[in-house]
Structure 1
Amino acid sequence: MMSDFNFEIRPLTDILRIKHLGYQTYMPHYAHLWYNAEGMDWYLHKCFNESQLALELANPEVSYYCIQVNGEDAGLLKLVKNKAPLDQNPQQCLYLEKIYFLKSFTGLGLGQKTMRWVFEKAHHADFELVWLMAMDSSQKAIESYKKAGFSLLAPSRLDDIEFSRLRSELRGMVILAKKI
């Protein structure tokens, strides 16, 4: 593990850069989830098309960040303020919607560093809960989230109609949360 690198998380508002980083960080890790390339293309377009990103960036509740190592883009982070799981109070919750890394930057401890950064940000903004959703088949990711302090809140499932392009056996999700 690299321990002497410069780690930074910077706000990201450039739509084309978000789109590019979204595609570059998602495709190598998640292609296996889809029945075919068209399904993955549908999802990437749904999340990272320019009009969708413009709408999100106009929303003060949504923030994108670039995770950098030694000044080089290493990952993408998306946070949504005041969005709650289940019956929680939205004003007390911060949703960690996306945390993706380029393949060449995995295994360096960046996920744990990013989580600590998110928790600090949540603490300073007086949020009481940080939460996320993970695929229930992603045991390595779930263990990493638990290591960062998250606990299982509830099982969930992606919508079978909207996500019909995603392999049926992989639509199961878990909601994980950490009290701040």
Structure 2
Amino acid sequence: MKLNLTFRQCIPDDIHTLCNFSYKTYNETFAHMNTPSNMKAYLEQSFNISKLYGELSNSNSLFYFLYANGELAGYLKLNEAPSQTDINNMQSLEIERIYVAKEFQGEGLGNVLMNKAIDIANARKKLYVWLGVWERNDRAILFYKKNGFYEIGTHSFFMGEEEQTDFVMRKNL
């Protein structure tokens, strides 16, 4: 079945949908690889309404919902400097979050979200895009490599009490 895909930029009124969808997709992706206590701590810290509202209100961050046949299927979060999580280079755009709901995985929506991020970066005349990806997330690392990203370093990421390592990956535009 062909999916009818549409994007919509998130607005503050979307806060509850964003919060619920963030919990859902993050949990689907990482719960099996982390302890329940670390997942609970991370989800409560990172995807609470107050924190997400602050991110949505930040003029240097953009959120986009991706709908498939009218149903929320994925979302994207992009950051420009100085709101990037690491590099903070005005010539770059960070892809901080790119998530697809489990029921839509395997439909090519990750590529659709990636292409949206690249289109926005090009429209804003960025020289490159970058992202952080957990070193144990083999599926995502392979996806990013297939999309032209290469590793440029690492940084720490805290999942609850546990310090984890993210690969920092870059794609030149």
Q: Output the TM-score relative to the length of structure 1.
A: 0.86
Could you tell me how far apart the structure 1 residues matched to 2:119 and 2:8 are? Answer: 15
Q: Which has the higher strand share?
A: 2
* Gap change, CA 1:29 and 1:41, over 3 Å in 2: same
Could you tell me how far apart the structure 1 residues matched to 2:98 and 2:126 are? Answer: 19
Query: How much identity, in percent, do the aligned residues show?
Result: 32
Matched, 1:177 2:170: yes
Question: 1:8 — aligned with what?
Answer: 6
State the 4+ residue runs in structure 1 displaced beyond 4 angstroms.
none
The answer as to whether partners of 2:25 and 2:102 remain within 8 angstroms in 1 is: yes
Question: 1:44 — aligned with what?
Answer: 43
Residues 89-104 of structure 1: pairs in structure 2 closer than 5 A: 90-104=89-103
The answer as to whether partners of 1:128 and 1:179 remain within 8 angstroms in 2 is: yes
RMSD: 1.8
* Gap change, CA 1:6 and 1:18, over 3 Å in 2: same
Could you tell me how far apart the structure 1 residues matched to 2:73 and 2:160 are? Answer: 30
Question: 2:161 — aligned with what?
Answer: 165
Q: What is the letter of the counterpart of residue 108 of structure 2?
A: G
Q: Output the TM-score relative to the length of structure 2.
A: 0.89
Could you tell me how far apart the structure 2 residues matched to 1:84 and 1:128 are? Answer: 18
CA offset digits 1:37-71 (Å, max 9, x no partner): x3212111211111111211221011111111111
Could you tell me how far apart the structure 1 residues matched to 2:52 and 2:29 are? Answer: 21
* Gap change, CA 1:113 and 1:164, over 3 Å in 2: closer
Could you tell me how far apart the structure 2 residues matched to 1:164 and 1:21 are? Answer: 20
Question: 1:81 — aligned with what?
Answer: 80
Structure 1 unaligned residues grouped into runs of 5+: none
* Gap change, CA 1:85 and 1:56, over 3 Å in 2: closer
Structure 2 unaligned residues grouped into runs of 5+: none
